[in-house]
Structure 1
Amino acid sequence: MSEVRVALVGIDGVGKTTVLHRLRERDDIAVVHAVRGHEDPNDPSADLSAALAGASSAADDLGRVQLKVAVLYLQLCLFGPAERQAARRRPTLLTDRHPLVDPLVYLPMFASLARDAEPGGDVEAWWHKQEPGEANAVRDWLRAAGGTADPWELGTEVLRWGTLPSHELLGRLGRSFGVTLPEGVVLLDLPVTQALRRTRERARDSELHETRAFLSATRQRYVAVLDRLAQTRTELSVRRVDCADRSVDEVGAHVLDALDTIARTRK
């Protein structure tokens, strides 16, 4: 196993993926993407991860949070094997998000948005928006990992988890994904106005939750969730990096400093 496992978290647009691309060049750091595993050429399920990214985009197009959350669950189910494989390659494992941290932030917020109980024709439309071959892969993984052929059923159930007390939600996530908390979490922090500008400059379409109000609420929840984890899980080291008006190299240097600090606290 890796000497230390650290999750890099923060609102969309803060620069997690860009920083991780830079740090992946180091010989002592292995990188795992919790949601977009196909961005790592060594990921054991890259093709399935790419298919799930397409399914996530289709959910964004339809604006149905139940479908978005169902795909998120299926994506996070891929994390455990990827983490175990990467942990054998390098002494430090750095992850883009984490299946036991980010859902504590997002699931309660998504649950508050899920007002429509019936899918209407959106499930069928969601399947049709995906490439046929990728849809078949998603359908097989839905049955294998989600235990159902109905994505709406899965999304509705996972959204229900968002109403649980945080300690119960954490336990449910750990059992579902078969992973444990990392040794450390580094929060990349950026003003919402800057993060929103970055998300709108991306080549891909914006995601369902990339709005000023949602990003502002998410930023506040990251702080609250990490404060709570630091208080209740004293073995977890939490660090914050201010990314405002800093270059990728500057942010990367601060992340490396945080990794060193986290590693020292474990000795």
Structure 2
Amino acid sequence: MTGARRVALLGIDGSGKSTLARLLAERAGTGGRAVVLSSLRAHEHPDGPLRELSRHLDTLSKEADRLGSPDLKLAVLYLQMCTYGVAERFFTRELAARVVISERHPVLDALAYVPLYRDGIERVGGPGRREVLREQLAGLPPAAVAAARDWCAVLGARRDGRAVRLETLGAELVGLLGLPDARRAAELSARFGVAAPDVAVVLDLDVETALGRVKARGRHLEPHERAELLSRVGDGYDRALAVFDTVRVHRVAADRPPSDLAARVARLIAL
């Protein structure tokens, strides 16, 4: 293990995590002492590993939205989050970064978001669902599907040969909801190869304002980007953080200009 300090930026969609991450990255500069990473999109860091895989997974995530396929969407989200540990280890071990700031966090986000997919996955589930997913995947960009399957094989090897399959992964993750919170957190941490952060910065913003920001982006909405579900995401983060009593939590009002928010967060994390 390294002595790097790990900081996670958390908050519901529209709270300003991406903008804050970009501004903190600008403050960190290129000296290598601090690095700002995305938990889901490894390709956004020009020097990071797994960039081509990350682009393929981003393509599949958008395709899952287009198909309205909740189990495929959750499977791809999981595969995206599995790239984060590789990036974190690369920057701390190979490039000796002393501070790692992540936009989202694989374990905390999985604890907060997986419950949102349970109803949708149970609704479409059934004995023929695996074949439906195979047919859906057959119609998607072949290079992206191949990259995802190859990544599943790598992850399966890490799990002592226990298979990781796109067609069953979403339902498998929902099955973890039957575990007590602490056991589920430990299982996810082991799967991702990522420990809880040392510090969590939670961006507090009311749901209606956050949703207005999301809609103003002019892109398609994610399946969970609805008022009632964003409220559940916020509650999910609170429950997830309660599992880890070692995480120092800072709650910051996110209804301020981005530059002011970045300056405040930079002071809090001594960047």
Could you list the structure 1 runs, at least 4 aligned residues long, displaced by more than 4 angstroms after superposition.
146-149
Q: 1:224 to 1:15 in 2, by over 3 A?
A: same
Counterpart check, 1:58 vs 2:63: yes
2:197 and 2:239 map into 1 onto residues whose CA distance is 18
1:224 and 1:133 map into 2 onto residues whose CA distance is 38
Q: Would the aligned equivalents of 1:32 and 1:86 in 2 still touch at CA under 8 Å? A: no
Partner of 2:212: 197
Q: Within 5 Å, which residues of 2 pair with 1:65-144?
A: 65-87=70-92, 88-115=95-122, 116-118=124-126, 119=129, 121-129=132-140, 131-144=141-154
* 1:124 counterpart letter in structure 2: E
Q: 1:45 to 1:68 in 2, by over 3 A?
A: same
Instruction: Structure 2 unaligned segments of length 5 or more: list them.
Output: 157-161
Instruction: Find the residue that maps to 2:200 and give its secondary structure.
Output: strand
Instruction: Find the residue that maps to 1:114 and give its secondary structure.
Output: helix
Count of aligned pairs: 255
Q: CA RMSD in A?
A: 2.0
2:83 and 2:257 map into 1 onto residues whose CA distance is 31
1:149 and 1:177 map into 2 onto residues whose CA distance is 13
Provide Cα deviations, 1:67-125, integer angstroms capped at 9, x if missing partner: 11111111111111100122234321100111121111112232243222132634422
Partner of 1:188: 203
Counterpart check, 1:145 vs 2:155: yes
2:3 and 2:46 map into 1 onto residues whose CA distance is 19
Choose from 33, 48, 52 the match for 1:47: 52
Q: Would the aligned equivalents of 1:67 and 1:151 in 2 still touch at CA under 8 Å? A: yes
Q: Would the aligned equivalents of 1:30 and 1:93 in 2 still touch at CA under 8 Å? A: yes
Choose from 178, 187, 195 the match for 1:163: 178
* 1:47 counterpart letter in structure 2: E
Choose from 256, 259, 263 the match for 2:269: 259
Further displaced range: 114-123 or 43-52? 114-123
1:60 and 1:109 map into 2 onto residues whose CA distance is 15
Instruction: Structure 1 unaligned segments of length 5 or more: list them.
Output: none
Choose from 217, 235, 257 the match for 2:232: 217
Instruction: Find the residue that maps to 1:181 and give its secondary structure.
Output: coil
Q: Would the aligned equivalents of 2:9 and 2:103 in 1 still touch at CA under 8 Å? A: yes
Q: Would the aligned equivalents of 2:121 and 2:170 in 1 still touch at CA under 8 Å? A: no
Q: Would the aligned equivalents of 1:2 and 1:92 in 2 still touch at CA under 8 Å? A: no
* 1:240 counterpart letter in structure 2: R
- TM-score between both structures, scaled by the size of structure 1: 0.88
Further displaced range: 74-83 or 2-11? 2-11
